[in-house]
Structure 1
Amino acid sequence: MGGKPREVCFNGRFLSQEVTGVQRYGHELLYALDRIIPTRPNIRITLVCPRLDRAPPTLTNIAVEQRGNLQGHAWEQLELPWLSRGKVLFCPGNTAPAISLLDGQSVIVTVHDLSYLYFPEAYSSAFRRVYGFLVPLAFQRARGVITVSVSERDSIVSRYPHVAPRLTAIQNGGLPNDIASDTANVQREDNHILYVGSLSKRKNFPRMLEVARSLASKKDYKFTFVGGTAGGLLESNSGVPQAVQSLITFAGQVNDTEKLMQFYRRATVFMFPSMYEASPLPPIEAMACGCPVVAGDIPSLRERCGDAALYCDPNQTTSIEAQVETLIANKAMQAELAAKGRSRASEFSWNNCAAKVLDVIEAA
């Protein structure tokens, strides 16, 4: 025992990006690692990121370095390999520098999902080309690969069986450590349905919008959509008839977590009929805030939500609409799912996620 600590470079490119699911993973994992790294004296972590136009994270146990002159993929591919030389390189956002992988550097990559393969029409051709090269290269050359659910691990192995011995499934956490889930004084708005996530076809936004138009016109239900279309995601049709525009709100991208929690705490029902997920954050966040969930009946959401959600067929607009109506109309079911949801959300911890990531780093 003892000796020199293993030096780990944490790829901080995500700090310069808009905050969606992958970036939230990077942020929450970073803070969790900062909390628990004193329990692993054999590992020392340095966060290396491109130069930011805002203040970097305030960390206690992880050093922060803003280095290089480039941004985006160029920074990651051309400058990060030299900035991380001699260290284990951990990349939390699907891609890693090709030079580092090909040069034999010890690289650990979190590949969240393969949605660019499953839903190619939802991504630009440039995005698909970049991921189509870098993700398989990571599967081939990385010392360790992390993904975020057992169902996603099975999906990856079915396409890339050679990665199986180096692929570990580690579920995402839930609420950030510094966000309270207290719901005692929450004032929920009647008949208010919330969705949080990208407004994209693979998230089933067109069907959700159809449900919103239908229920808003029939019963004056209110809908709020939080999220945007960022990066390589292509826009979905978001036309709303003038007659129901006052009942359907598009709040845009919300990067402030506490503001996001306010949406969860006001809603009556959280709607998440996604057709494809790996380990989504929004349903667990909604549950932690006491908001009952209608979720798409797909393996990853069953794995994530257990018996704490009401499930619908994400391929059928009528099924989504019926389950939302059922939950809105049944106060007893709302209370039951809210209680189950709070219990389920408590099972997901970013500290636990971070500890398992460190296990993978040590094993590599």
Structure 2
Amino acid sequence: LLHRLDLKNIPLRCTGKFTGHYWEQVELPDFVRDGLLFCPGNTAPLKSLRRQKVVVCVHSLAFRYLPEAYSRLFRTVYNQLMPKIFRHARAVITVSESEKKYIGEHFPGAKAPVVAVQNGGISAAFRESLVLSQSQKSAADSPYLLFVGSFSRVKNLENVLTALHLLHRDFPKLTLRVVGAKARSFNDLSTKIDEQLRPKIVFEGQINDTVAMIKLYQNAAALVFPSFYEASPLPPIEAMSCGCPVVASDIPSLRERCGNTAEYCRPESPESIATAIAAILSDAQFAEHLRQNGLARAAEFSWERCARETLAVFRNVLSTD
């Protein structure tokens, strides 16, 4: 990945023999002994926290809200590291105001200042491909819903499948395409799916082709994104950028991300998910309203703004003793 980055002002160097937490906790502190250390992946080396200026980006506290979705080892590591990060880091960046609030609730004794810097929107490469694909947009042969995510319980695919079953009578041609999650068979899911619905569910797997992903967004009747927990997700913004209506969980982080440009549902209720989807499928004018408002909403998010706000945190930390 490092060799693919075309950076003009930032020298890159690979160091160490190991990976993962061992590299972070053992090798990284010996390589970086002074200056400011930015750790963008939720954790930081404990040795560095005590001897130099460290800024950490904490993306999510999902392991606290939905512990059953994570392994015991994962929870143990994070429950040990997080209190020390919030006690010793010079600053903590998180990706939304709602996540900042959660941090305050779970770590009330935190000494590190917490700054919310909202994630950006689509990348420059995505934007370029989107412009080129506008002339290639075509109507799908039959309406389909798009789900972008994993099989993690946090992403709530099982309730989406149940909602599809509820919609089948009124929308018999409706199908579901699942991107990102891989299934060897329907037995990988605990939800029992009627035999008649199985041909209507397509597991696309991981899609790395930007143009192919844009086409899926553009031709979908809606992106269904009813996660139980999110911090500052990208798929709703990608969908809006492509003119795809969004059905999203009525949770604070998605309200913050999508504003009034999504149709909201209760993630724990397949009936609520189905009702939100039906509102879009049965009302072309409402669907167009979501498309137009979504395009405007997506344009509000910028990775340049995210970078500038992050840089401001670095400068503030460097200017203090």
Given that 1:286 and 1:293 are in contact with CA atoms closer than 8 Å, whether structure 2 keeps it comes out as yes
Please name the residue that 2:167 is paired with.
215
3-state SS in 1 of match to 2:55: strand
Please name the residue that 1:140 is paired with.
87
Matched, 1:205 2:157: yes
Pairing 1:225-304 to 2, within 5 Å after superposition: 225-228=178-181, 237=190, 240-304=193-257
Given that 2:155 and 2:226 are in contact with CA atoms closer than 8 Å, whether structure 1 keeps it comes out as yes
Given that 1:216 and 1:222 are in contact with CA atoms closer than 8 Å, whether structure 2 keeps it comes out as no
Of 317, 333, 355, 2:286 maps to 333
| Structure 1 range deviating more: 188-197 or 301-310 | 188-197
Q: Which residue identity is paired with 1:194?
A: L
Please name the residue that 1:64 is paired with.
12
3-state SS in 2 of match to 1:66: coil
Distance in 2 of aligned mates of 1:209 and 1:284: 23
Matched, 1:194 2:162: no
Against the structure 1 CA distance between its residues 165 and 92, is the aligned structure 2 distance closer, same or farther, given a 3 Å change threshold? closer
Pairing 1:1-364 to 2, within 5 Å after superposition: 55-101=3-49, 103-163=50-110, 166-180=113-127, 181-182=130-131, 184-185=134-135, 186-189=137-140, 190-216=142-168, 219-228=172-181, 237=190, 240-364=193-317
Given that 2:87 and 2:111 are in contact with CA atoms closer than 8 Å, whether structure 1 keeps it comes out as no
Task: Flag structure 2 segments of 5+ consecutive residues without an equivalent.
Answer: 183-187
Distance in 1 of aligned mates of 2:281 and 2:195: 24
Q: Post-superposition shift, 1:57?
A: 2.2
Distance in 2 of aligned mates of 1:305 and 1:85: 41
Against the structure 1 CA distance between its residues 255 and 86, is the aligned structure 2 distance closer, same or farther, given a 3 Å change threshold? farther
Given that 2:166 and 2:271 are in contact with CA atoms closer than 8 Å, whether structure 1 keeps it comes out as no
Q: Post-superposition shift, 1:74?
A: 1.5
Q: Which residue identity is paired with 1:276?
A: Y
Report Cα offsets for 1:70-95 as digits up to 9, x if no partner.
11221112111122221311111111
| Structure 1 range deviating more: 274-283 or 210-219 | 210-219
Given that 1:201 and 1:236 are in contact with CA atoms closer than 8 Å, whether structure 2 keeps it comes out as no
Q: Which residue identity is paired with 2:117?
A: I
Give me the TM-score of the superposition, normalised by structure 2: 0.89
3-state SS in 2 of match to 1:311: strand
Task: Percent identity, please.
Answer: 42
Given that 2:42 and 2:58 are in contact with CA atoms closer than 8 Å, whether structure 1 keeps it comes out as yes
Given that 2:148 and 2:179 are in contact with CA atoms closer than 8 Å, whether structure 1 keeps it comes out as yes
Q: Post-superposition shift, 1:216?
A: 4.5
Against the structure 1 CA distance between its residues 239 and 253, is the aligned structure 2 distance closer, same or farther, given a 3 Å change threshold? farther
Q: Which residue identity is paired with 1:110?
A: C
CA RMSD of aligned residues (A): 2.0
Given that 1:177 and 1:350 are in contact with CA atoms closer than 8 Å, whether structure 2 keeps it comes out as no
Give me the TM-score of the superposition, normalised by structure 1: 0.79
Report Cα offsets for 1:102-144 as digits up to 9, x if no partner.
x322111110111001101000111111111122221111111
Given that 1:188 and 1:268 are in contact with CA atoms closer than 8 Å, whether structure 2 keeps it comes out as no
Q: Post-superposition shift, 1:298?
A: 1.2
Report Cα offsets for 1:196-242 as digits up to 9, x if no partner.
1222212222211212344357613110111238xxxxx85365443
Against the structure 1 CA distance between its residues 98 and 239, is the aligned structure 2 distance closer, same or farther, given a 3 Å change threshold? farther
Against the structure 1 CA distance between its residues 105 and 56, is the aligned structure 2 distance closer, same or farther, given a 3 Å change threshold? farther
Against the structure 1 CA distance between its residues 164 and 205, is the aligned structure 2 distance closer, same or farther, given a 3 Å change threshold? farther
Task: Flag structure 1 segments of 5+ consecutive residues without an equivalent.
Answer: 1-14, 16-48, 50-54, 230-234
Q: Which residue identity is paired with 2:161?
A: L
Report Cα offsets for 1:19-54 as digits up to 9, x if no partner.
xxxxxxxxxxxxxxxxxxxxxxxxxxxxxx7xxxxx
Distance in 2 of aligned mates of 1:236 and 1:116: 22
